[in-house]
C-alpha cells in the first residue's frame, strides 16, 4: 500500500475503480503497465454503502485517479472525510452524466474532474430508438403474450413511426444518433432551439429539419425523446404543461437521459388518463425504484416499456469506457514524467 503523501515522480499513478466496470472494460485497463499505473477496485457493495466503501478504500493512501460511474456521489461529504494527502487528484466519470459529481466543490478544493462523453453515445442512442419501436409496435407485450401461449394479433395493433414527427430535446451526440435513424425511418425530425444560440446562427445537422421552441416542439411531436443532462435548469423540464401539449396525439415519451428531467407524476397521470399512448423509460428519479413510489408505478405501468438504466450497457461501450480509463492514467503518468524533467529530478 502506498503511504499517504508519497507522490514521487517515478511512482505509478494510483487508480481506484469505485464501481464495477465490467469484463469488457477491464481488458483495456489491464493493459496498463505496472510501472505506469496500479489499479485497485472497491469491493462490490449495495449503492447505499458505496460512498463509505470508497472513503475506506482511500484512507491511508494517495489516490491519483478516482474512477466512478453513476452510483457514487463525489461531493463534500465524501471529500471531507479524507485528509488533503488522501484526496484524489482527478475524478473521472466513466460515462456522460456528471450529476453525481459536485463539480464546483471539487474545483474549489483543487480536484480536477471530467467525463467520457463519447463512450455511451451509440449505445444510448440505439436504446432510445429501440424503445420508440417497442412502444409503437407493442413488441414487449406481444412477446409476453406469445410466451404465455396467447396469439391475439388484433390486440397488438401498433403505429408506424414513418411519417410521424420526432421532437428531440437535446440535439447533441446521442440525439444525433436517434435523429439520424429516425430520418432513415421516414420521420420528420425537429429539435429544441438552444437558448444560448439562435437556430439561424448555426447550420442544422442533416437529420434535422428545424429547431423550434419547447412549446412548439411538444405541440408538433408524435414522439418526444430526451437527451439532456440533469441540472437545476432541466429538472422537470418536461412537466404537466408540456405533456398536456402532447395530449390527444397518441404521443410517446422516451427518456434515456436522466430521471427527473421528465416530471414523473405528470407523466403517470397522463398515462393513467390515456392522454398519451405510452412511454419508454430507461431512467427514473429513484433507481432502483422503491416499491409503491411514483417511479415504481411508472416502471410497472402497462403502457410503459421500462429498462433498468442500461443505456450504456453494451460490450462496445464498456470497452470504450475501459479505454478512456487507460488513456487518462497514461496521460497522468506522462504529465508526471514531464514534471520530473522540468524540476530536474
Q: Residue range 34-59: average pLDDT?
A: 94
Specify whether the CB–CB gap between 26 and 318 falls below 8 A: no
User: What's the rounded Cα separation, in Å, for the pair 242 and 267?
Assistant: 10
Statement to judge: residues 282 and 336 lie in one domain: no
90, 92, 93, 98 alpha-carbon torsion, rounded to 10°: 30
Q: What mean pLDDT comes out for the span 307-329? A: 96
CATH number of the domain at 100, please: 3.40.50.720
| 263-312 pLDDT per residue, tens | 999 999 999 999 999 999 999 999 889 999 999 999 999 999 999 999 99
Whether residue 261 is found in the same domain as residue 324: no
Q: How many domains does the chain have?
A: 2
Sign of CA dihedral 159, 161, 165, 169: positive
In the predicted structure, residue 337 carries a pLDDT above the cut 90 = no
Do 63 and 200 lie in one domain? The reply is no
Give DSSP secondary structure letters for 214-244: HHHHHHH-SEEEE-----TTTTT-B-HHHHH
Q: Is the peptide bond before 147 cis (omega within 30 degrees of 0)?
A: no
Contact of 198 with 212, CB cutoff 8 Å: no
In a domain, 6, yes or no: no
- pLDDT value at position 8? 56
Is a pLDDT exceeding 50 seen at residue 1?
no
Closest of 331, 318, 332 to residue 95, by C-alpha: 318
Residues 125 and 36 in one domain: no
Same domain as 250, residue 133: yes
Residue 325 lies in a domain: yes
Please tell me the predicted confidence (pLDDT) of residue 48.
86
Q: What Cα–Cα distance (Å) separates residue 142 from each residue in 274, 305, 310?
A: 20, 12, 22
Q: Stretch 96-100: mean pLDDT, rounded? A: 88
**Contact call for residues 82 and 59 (beta carbons, < 8 A):** yes
Q: Tens digits of per-residue pLDDT, 196-234?
A: 555 454 689 999 999 999 999 999 999 999 999 999 999
Q: What is the pLDDT of residues 153-171, one digit of tens each?
A: 999 999 999 999 999 999 9
At 93, list the grid cell: 466519470
Q: Cα separations (Å) of 121 from 172, 196, 231?
A: 10, 23, 19
- Is position 260 within any domain? yes
Nearest in space to 64 (alpha carbons), one of 6, 13, 11, 110: 13
The mean pLDDT value for 51-72 works out to: 95
**161 and 66 belong to one structural domain:** no
Which own/partner contact pairs does 35-38 have at CB distance under 8 Å and 24+ positions apart?
36/12, 36/329, 36/330, 36/333, 37/12, 37/13, 37/329, 37/330, 37/333, 38/2, 38/12, 38/13, 38/14
- Residue 271 in any domain: the answer is yes
Assigned domain for 3 exists: no
Q: Is the pLDDT of residue 81 over 70?
A: yes
Mean pLDDT over each residue of the chain, to the nearest integer: 92
66 and 175, same domain (yes or no): no
Indicate whether 137 pLDDT > 90.
Answer: yes
All cell numbers assigned to 292: 409503491
Within-domain flag for 4: no
Please check whether residue 28 lies inside any domain of the structure.
yes
- Return the closest-CA partner of residue 183 out of 159, 201, 156, 165: 165
113 and 125 together in one domain: no
Is 326 inside a domain boundary?
Answer: yes
Q: Are residues 337 and 265 in the same domain?
A: no
Quote the pLDDT of residue 97.
85
25 and 108, same domain (yes or no): yes
Instruction: State mean pLDDT over 101-114.
Output: 96
Please compute the mean of the pLDDT values over residues 222-247 and round it to a whole number: 94
> Mean pLDDT throughout 66-71?
93
H/E run at residue 166: strand 165-169
Nearest to 57 by CA among 33, 36, 34, 39: 39
Residue 253's domain comprises: 121-306
Same domain, residue pair 298 and 339: no
- Binned at pLDDT 50, 70 and 90, residue 143 comes out as very high
**Distance from the first to the final alpha carbon of the chain:** 24
> 35 and 177: one domain?
no
- Contacts for 22 with CB less than 8 Å, ≥ 6 apart: 318, 321, 322
113: left (phi over 0), alpha (psi -120 to 50) or beta: beta
Amino acid at each position: 500500500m502506498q503511504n499517504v503523501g508519497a507522490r514521487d515522480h517515478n511512482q505509478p499513478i494510483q487508480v481506484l475503480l469505485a464501481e464495477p466496470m465490467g469484463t469488457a472494460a477491464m481488458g483495456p485497463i489491464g493493459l496498463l503497465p505496472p510501472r505506469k499505473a496500479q489499479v485497485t477496485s472497491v469491493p462490490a457493495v449495495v449503492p447505499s454503502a458505496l460512498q463509505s466503501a470508497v472513503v475506506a478504500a482511500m484512507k491511508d493512501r494517495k489516490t491519483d485517479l478516482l474512477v466512478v460511474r453513476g452510483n457514487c456521489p463525489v461531493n463534500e461529504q465524501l471529500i471531507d472525510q479524507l485528509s488533503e494527502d488522501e484526496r484524489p487528484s482527478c475524478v473521472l466519470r466513466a460515462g456522460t452524466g456528471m450529476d453525481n459529481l459536485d463539480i464546483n466543490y471539487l474545483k474549489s478544493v483543487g480536484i480536477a474532474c471530467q467525463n467520457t462523453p463519447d463512450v455511451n453515445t451509440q449505445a444510448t442512442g440505439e436504446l432510445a430508438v429501440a424503445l420508440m419501436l417497442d412502444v409503437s409496435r407493442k413488441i414487449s407485450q406481444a412477446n409476453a403474450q406469445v410466451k404465455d401461449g396467447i396469439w391475439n394479433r388484433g390486440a397488438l395493433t401498433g403505429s408506424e413511426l414513418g411519417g410521424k414527427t420526432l421532437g428531440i430535446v437535446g440535439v447533441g451526440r446521442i440525439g444525433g444518433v436517434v435523429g439520424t435513424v429516425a430520418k432513415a425511418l421516414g420521420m420528420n425530425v425537429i429539435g429544441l432551439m438552444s437558448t444560448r444560440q439562435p437556430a439561424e446562427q448555426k447550420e442544422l445537422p442533416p437529420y434535422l429539419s428545424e429547431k423550434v421552441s419547447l412549446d412548439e416542439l411538444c405541440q408538433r411531436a408524435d414522439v418526444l425523446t430526451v437527451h439532456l443532462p440533469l441540472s437545476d435548469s432541466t429538472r422537470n423540464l418536461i412537466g404537466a404543461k408540456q405533456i398536456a401539449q402532447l395530449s390527444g396525439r397518441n404521443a410517446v415519451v422516451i427518456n434515456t437521459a436522466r430521471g427527473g428531467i421528465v416530471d414523473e407524476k405528470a407523466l403517470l397521470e397522463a398515462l393513467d388518463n390515456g392522454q398519451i399512448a405510452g412511454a419508454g423509460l430507461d431512467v427514473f428519479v429513484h433507481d432502483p425504484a422503491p416499491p409503491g413510489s411514483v417511479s415504481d408505478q411508472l416502471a410497472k405501468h402497462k403502457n410503459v416499456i421500462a429498462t433498468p438504466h442500461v443505456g450504456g450497457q453494451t460490450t462496445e461501450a464498456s470497452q470504450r469506457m475501459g479505454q478512456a480509463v487507460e488513456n487518462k492514467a497514461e496521460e497522468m503518468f506522462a504529465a508526471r514524467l514531464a514534471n520530473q524533467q522540468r524540476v530536474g529530478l
